[in-house]
Amino acid sequence: MKPASFDYARPVDLDEAIELLRSVEESRIIAGGQSLVPMLNLRLARPDLLVDIGDLALGEIRESGGYVTIGAGVTHARLGSDPLVANLLPVVHACIGHIGHEPIRRRGTIGGSLAHAEPTAELVTTCLVAGATVLVAGPHGQRRVALDDLVVGPFMTTLEAGELVVAVELQSHEHAWTGFAEVARRRGDFAIAAAACSIEPNGVSRPRLSMVIAGAAGRAQLIDAGELDAVRRVHRDVVALVMESVVVDVLADEVAFKRAIVESVVGDALMATGWFDG
């Protein structure tokens, strides 16, 4: 299929982009286009105006004060090759190879992934566990919103008319144990379920575990599992601890199946941290 007709604009700065989005009610942003173009072709999206933000200066990656700021235009491929991301955001770096295939990773952007809010998106999952705050710009200026407040459901966000994601700020996990795992039918397919975790040192003896579970419900679930014992508990005990907080929001006859998959990726993500003895 071919998309319905639409007007196209390629603004040269952020103010022009916001004005274009504000002036046309049925307008959509395109960056890498890896989610939007298929929707256009299937006519699931029928905008009157497509605003291409490819010329905006949204490609910076920088570190300051224990946080890494990533511009919305940074591609998945660049995240996978950037040494700053590899060293300070290892959980984000670990998920990149699971995102689609190489052509998708070369075009898709972090801002597009977060704004699209696909329920098992790898970057939503890992950015949540990295404490992401999203910088949003719009007709009323800029605002900061926690990613957990931005994504409210499958393909649903709190972005308002005329707003766009311009950057995401993540806590450095340089000294944490982190892990990511997912289950998909085939390599490159959308995940059935995914999990990302971070075990923060939190002092010498009682590290703290945070985990994000995607695929059990309509949006990724951020779980604070609390402090772990000084002695490294076997991972099956921690899996059971995490699973006590997971909400499985699917049809009744699918709950056991989905819980089994989620439990598997939770265990795999925990073991990927290298923190557990067995």
Question: 189 and 109 share a domain?
Answer: no
**Residues 109-159: pLDDT tens digits?**
999 999 999 999 999 999 999 999 999 999 999 999 999 999 999 999 999
Out of 142, 171, 200, pick the residue that ends a domain.
171
> Is residue 1 one of the residues assigned to a domain?
no
Question: 67 and 163 share a domain?
Answer: yes
Residue 242 domain boundaries: 177-272
The arrangement of strands across the sheet holding 61-64 comes to 61-64, 67-71, 164-171, 133-138, 141-146
The predicted pLDDT at position 207 comes to 78
Question: 65 and 167 share a domain?
Answer: yes
Contacts of 195 (CB under 8 A, 6+ apart): 125, 180, 181, 182, 211, 212, 213, 214, 262, 265, 266, 268, 269
Question: 243 and 185 share a domain?
Answer: yes
Question: 156 and 182 share a domain?
Answer: no
Question: 240 and 151 share a domain?
Answer: no
Q: Are 164 and 136 in contact (CB under 8 A)?
A: yes
> Is residue 39 one of the residues assigned to a domain?
yes
CATH number of domain containing 112: 3.30.465.10
The predicted pLDDT at position 234 comes to 63
Percent of the chain with pLDDT over 70: 95
User: Which one, of 77, 79, 57, lies nearest residue 68 by Cα?
Assistant: 79
pTM higher than 0.85: yes
> Is residue 2 one of the residues assigned to a domain?
no
> Tokens at residue 100, please?
């689609």
> Is residue 11 one of the residues assigned to a domain?
yes
For residue 186, what are the CA distances in angstroms to 113, 116, 153, 267? Answer: 20, 22, 25, 20
CATH number of domain containing 42: 3.30.43.10
CATH number of domain containing 209: 3.30.390.50
Q: Are 28 and 21 in contact (CB under 8 A)?
A: no
- 240/33 Cα distance (integer angstroms): 39
Question: 65 and 29 share a domain?
Answer: no
Out of 171, 206, 226, pick the residue that ends a domain.
171
Please give the tally of structural domains in the chain: 3
Taken in order 243, 147, 95, 45, the sign of the CA dihedral is positive
Question: 153 and 102 share a domain?
Answer: yes
**Residues 183-202: pLDDT tens digits?**
999 988 999 999 999 988 76
Residue ranges, the chain, pLDDT below 50: 230-231
The predicted pLDDT at position 145 comes to 98
The predicted pLDDT at position 126 comes to 97
> Is residue 73 one of the residues assigned to a domain?
yes
